[in-house]
Structure 1
Amino acid sequence: MSGSGGGAEPLDPTVARGRSAVTDALEDVSSGSAVVLGVSGGADSLALAALTAFVAPRREIGVRCLVVDHGLQDGSAQVAAATAETLRGLGLEADVRRVQVGRDGGPEAAARSARRAALASYAQEHGCVAVLLAHTRDDQAETVLLGLSRGSGARSLAGIAPRDGLWRRPLLGLSRTDTEAVCRASGLSWWSDPHNDDDRYARVRVRRDVLPVLEEALGPGVAAALARTAGMLRDDADLLDTLAAQSRGELARPDGGLDAAGLAALPRALRTRVLRAAALEAGCPAGDLTAAHVVEVERLVTRWRGQGGPALPGGVTVSRTDGALVFRRASTRG
């Protein structure tokens, strides 16, 4: 492991902010319940573990930690085992689980999918009500920049949500520098993942090359500003999604179609969300359904001249029939 430890000191202001953030994240977790921490051995997740080890017992909340070994590097089992021992030294229950990483969506996405599946399964096995993850403000800024580079909409630019069902991310208000400070104040050494320096990954290039240039050109605070932007966009996107769901319910016909005239009367921000949601429900894979696909579907509403609809990912078709848009999934029978 790399990094540096430090002796006990009077309460560090960064530690105080971190404890407050974890307290807020656990505010609605009742006494006697338990949560899971996803821990990698890096500074971010060890800082989360140290903060939670202080906060949770005072609220009579149980804590279990899962160290996921992706098996992608030599020595990963030893790193995972050492991390589990560090967590036990904090007084936390810790287990290691080896996962099989697939290939869908690329190495980063595949590893994330395997990790999330392991954490969700572990939480269910142990009756835990939430999984706490250690994403930081820097992760948030990188996510927003990646979304901008891909021409994504508001939902993508809203970045990482503090809460998303089972998942909670208490440290989105802290930077990586802050989490390292928490580790030092807690006497913890951390592991540096070689993948975090591998420029084959777009996120690494954003972290190493793009954000420093922006900070130099525009002044300090760019990451914090991007994180604030994500928060504001998330509020907007949540409202629009709620309104779109209401509109979709109002426009639905008994046969499952969507009233075309009603769709045409909607503001475009709502119409495109309704169409995307309908396509996803019909079976389009979320990762394959692009904004360009939605634009082609929208032509059946705003520029219909009797033409057929586009073929969509996942074998989904859409057509305009009797004044309604109808989404269907092609039969898989051979």
Structure 2
Amino acid sequence: MGGPPREVAAVRAAVRADLRAVAAARPGALVLVACSGGADSLALAAATAFEAPRAGLRAGAVTVDHGLHPGSASVARDVEVACAGVGLDPVLTTRVAVGRSGGPEAAAREARYAALQALADSSGAAAVLLGHTLDDQAETVLLGLARGSGTRSLAGMPPVRGVFRRPLLGLGRAAVRRACALEGLEAWEDPWNADRRLARARVRHDALPALEAALGPGVAAALARTARALREDADALDELAERRDPFRDGAAPVAELLAAPAALRRRWLRRAALAVGCPAGALAAAHVDAVDALLLRWRGQGPVHLPGGATAHRACGRLLLTPAGGDPTG
């Protein structure tokens, strides 16, 4: 008897490797597939339903209704039926209110991840599996490059972060979608994926195809490999920065900051800004540049204003970061 089609086998193998790691840490635990109804997450759902029992795990699904499209509740019900149909249990649905901070894509993402984390916590799930593919990773790297936010931004999406796991990052979108079709699953296409008012849609439909046309095939895979290498470097530097961080109660000696390599110093500045309440999604490289200028191009200038109402100020040989409502003069 022959095995499954090549694409189905590849998705199952990727999921199998991930589930083994979960099972080793928490035998018999529940894992949840975050399923939007798109082809990528449906392929992930089918593979997880197949592999989880073989790994000694329970497998369910969760779909998040953002309420952003007409008929979104109907789509969520269809996702419930599809996930139950491949054998996932429980199948959970949660509706979220999407804010406006950071633009529609960022606001929807923030609401979605918060809801998934809350459901993981309440259900006791050991992991939430996400259906991001190699192509999604390449798009993320290009978006990070456009923002100019540094190494961490170019490192893309991590395979594992907390409860979230991305088993399909090594597989191309075309293969994953082919697996979905071969499983006989009918996918829903999110209209946002084709909306060129959104940056990711422009990268997907315009920028990446243009790069492939100009440079030849394999650009997406090369970007994903770059992300992996940069993530390893960024992780090492972040660990070193945490161990040697000179900031205490929002202040650090200017001389110590200037004596450090720029890669460490800028990480310290970002960590200090986050510590005084700057929202991570709003804190850009330009803000860190402005704080760094208090060290490198000091002319007695006044405080630097940061997202969230925080400020950075230099006084008496120290760099001070102050939360919103604090005294910006130190």
Distance 2:75 2:322 in 1: 48
SS in 2 for 1:32: coil
Partner of 1:143: 140
Q: Paired residue for 2:3, among 5, 10, 34?
A: 10
Q: TM-score, normalised by structure 1?
A: 0.91
SS in 1 for 2:220: helix
Q: Paired residue for 2:48, among 39, 48, 52?
A: 52
Q: Within 5 Å, which residues of 2 pair with 1:151-170? A: 151-170=148-167
Letter in 2 for 1:258: A
Partner of 1:328: 322
RMSD: 1.9
- 1:89-148: CA deviations, max 9, x gaps? 111121222222222211111211221122111111111121111011111111111112
Partner of 2:59: 63
Distance 2:304 2:116 in 1: 38
Maintained 8 Å contact 1:19/1:52: yes
Q: Paired residue for 1:272, among 266, 284, 290?
A: 266
- 1:203-252: CA deviations, max 9, x gaps? 1111111111211121111111111111111111111111111220xx24
Partner of 2:183: 186
Distance 2:38 2:104 in 1: 19
Instruction: Sort the Cα spacing of 1:130 and 1:205 in 2 relative to 1 into closer, same or farther, 3 A.
Output: same
Maintained 8 Å contact 1:9/1:185: no
Task: Detail structure 1 runs of 4+ shifted over 6 Å in the superposition.
Answer: none
Letter in 1 for 2:291: V
Maintained 8 Å contact 2:148/2:285: no
Instruction: Determine if the alignment matches structure 1 residue 20 to structure 2 residue 16.
Output: no
Which protein, 1 or 2, shows the higher relative CO under an 8 Å CA cutoff with sep ≥ 6?
1
SS in 2 for 1:28: helix
Q: Within 5 Å, which residues of 2 pair with 1:260-299? A: 260-299=254-293
Distance 2:313 2:75 in 1: 54
Which shifted more, 171-180 or 96-105? 96-105
Distance 1:235 1:309 in 2: 34
SS in 1 for 2:168: helix
Instruction: Determine if the alignment matches structure 1 residue 207 to structure 2 residue 204.
Output: yes
Gaps of 5+ in 2: none
SS in 2 for 1:64: strand
Partner of 1:124: 121
Distance 2:250 2:307 in 1: 20
Which shifted more, 274-283 or 295-304? 295-304
Maintained 8 Å contact 1:317/1:327: yes
Distance 2:308 2:181 in 1: 49
Distance 1:301 1:80 in 2: 52
Q: Paired residue for 1:314, among 281, 297, 308?
A: 308
Distance 1:258 1:252 in 2: 5
SS in 1 for 2:169: helix
Partner of 2:85: 89
Maintained 8 Å contact 1:316/1:328: yes
Distance 2:218 2:2 in 1: 28
- 1:14-73: CA deviations, max 9, x gaps? 222222211222233222111111101110000000111111101111112111111222
Q: TM-score, normalised by structure 2?
A: 0.92
Partner of 1:230: 227
Letter in 2 for 1:315: G
Instruction: Determine if the alignment matches structure 1 residue 171 to structure 2 residue 165.
Output: no
Q: Paired residue for 2:73, among 74, 77, 88?
A: 77
Distance 1:306 1:220 in 2: 52
Maintained 8 Å contact 1:296/1:309: no
Shift of 1:267: 0.5
Q: Within 5 Å, which residues of 2 pair with 1:210-221? A: 210-221=207-218
Shift of 1:332: 7.5
Distance 2:114 2:224 in 1: 27
Distance 2:265 2:289 in 1: 10
